[in-house]
Amino acid sequence: MDPYALKTLNVERRARRAAILVTDLGDGRDRIVREGDQVAGELGAAIAKAFQSGNSGSVEAEGRTFFLNAHLPQPRLMVIGAVHISQALAPMAKIAGYPVEIVDPRTAFATSDRFPDIALHAEWPEDVLKRQPLDSYTALAAVTHDPKIDDFALKAALDANCFYVGALGSRKTHAKRVERLLALGATADQIARIHAPIGLDIGAASPAEIAVAVLAQAIQAFRSRGLEATASARKSESILEKHDA
Amino acid sequence: MENSIYLDEARDPLIIAEGWMKDGKDVAIATVVETWGSAPRPVGSHLVIDAEGNFHGSVSGGCVEGAVVTEAIDVIDSGKAKMLEFGVADETAWQVGLSCGGRIKVYVERLG
Cβ atoms within 10 Å of A8's Cβ, excluding its own: 16
In a domain, A205, yes or no: yes
Which residues lie closer than 8 Å to A224 by C-beta, 6 or more apart? Answer: none
> Residue A36 pLDDT > 70, yes or no?
yes
The predicted structure's pLDDT at residue B100: 61
Per-residue pLDDT at A187 exceeds 70: yes
- ipTM computed for the complex: 0.88
Alpha carbon A133 to chain centroid, angstroms = 13
Instruction: Confirm if B16 and B28 have CB atoms less than 8 A apart.
Output: no
* Each residue's pLDDT tens digit, A64-90: 999 999 999 999 999 999 999 999 999
Q: Based on the domain organization, do A100 and A130 belong to the same domain?
A: yes
Q: Are residues A117 and A219 in the same domain?
A: yes
The residue length of chain A stands at 245
A87 to A75, A95, A147, A180, B85: CA distances (angstroms): 20, 13, 20, 28, 47
pLDDT of A8 > 90? The answer is yes
Residue at which a domain ends, from A39, A71, A103: A71
**pLDDT over 50 (residue B73):** yes
**Position A43 pLDDT exceeds 90:** yes
Query: What's the 3-state SS for chain A?
Result: CCHHHHHHHHHHHHCCCCEEEEEECCCCCEEEEECCCCCCHHHHHHHHHHHHHCCCEEEEECCEEEEEEEECCCCEEEEECCCHHHHHHHHHHHHCCCCEEEECCCCCCCCCCCCCCCEEECCCHHHHHHHCCCCCCEEEEECCCCHHHHHHHHHHHHHCCCCEEEECCCHHHHHHHHHHHHHCCCCHHHHHCEECCCCCCCCCCCHHHHHHHHHHHHHHHHHCCCHHHHHHHHHHHHHHHHHHC
Distance CA B101, CA A205 (A): 47
∠A152-A158-A164 over CA atoms, to 5°?
Answer: 110
Query: Which residues of chain A lie closer than 8 angstroms to B81, CB-CB?
Result: 28
* Residue where a domain stops, chosen among A14, A48, A71: A71
**B33, B75, B108: best mutation site toward chain A, by most A Cβ within 10 Å?**
B33
Q: What is the CATH number of the domain that holds A193?
A: 3.40.50.720
Choose from B43, B46, B106 for mutation: most chain A CBs within 10 A: B43
Does the pLDDT at position A234 exceed 60?
no
- At A20 the pLDDT is 98
Please check whether residues A109 and A140 belong to one and the same domain.
yes
Q: Is the pLDDT of residue A242 over 60?
A: no
pLDDT bucket at B97, cuts 50 / 70 / 90: low
Report pLDDT for A237. Answer: 46
Domain boundaries, chain B: 13-18+27-110
Chain B: residue whose CA lies nearest to A78:
B5
In a domain, A245, yes or no: no
On chain A, the residues whose CB falls within 8 A of the CB of B5 are 16, 73-74, 76, 99
Average pLDDT over residues A93-119: 95
pLDDT given at position A245: 38
In this structure, the answer to whether residues A156 and A39 fall within a common structural domain is: no
- Is the pLDDT reported for residue A241 higher than 60? no
Q: Are residues A19 and A113 in the same domain?
A: no
A65 lies in which domain range?
3-71
Pair A64, A26: CB distance under 8 Å: yes
Residue A241 lies in a domain: no
Chain A within 8 Å of B3 (Cβ-Cβ)? yes
Would you call B24 an interface residue with chain A, using a CB distance cutoff of 8 Å? Answer: no
Domain count for chain A, please give it: 2
Report d(CA A233, CA A216) in Å as an integer: 25
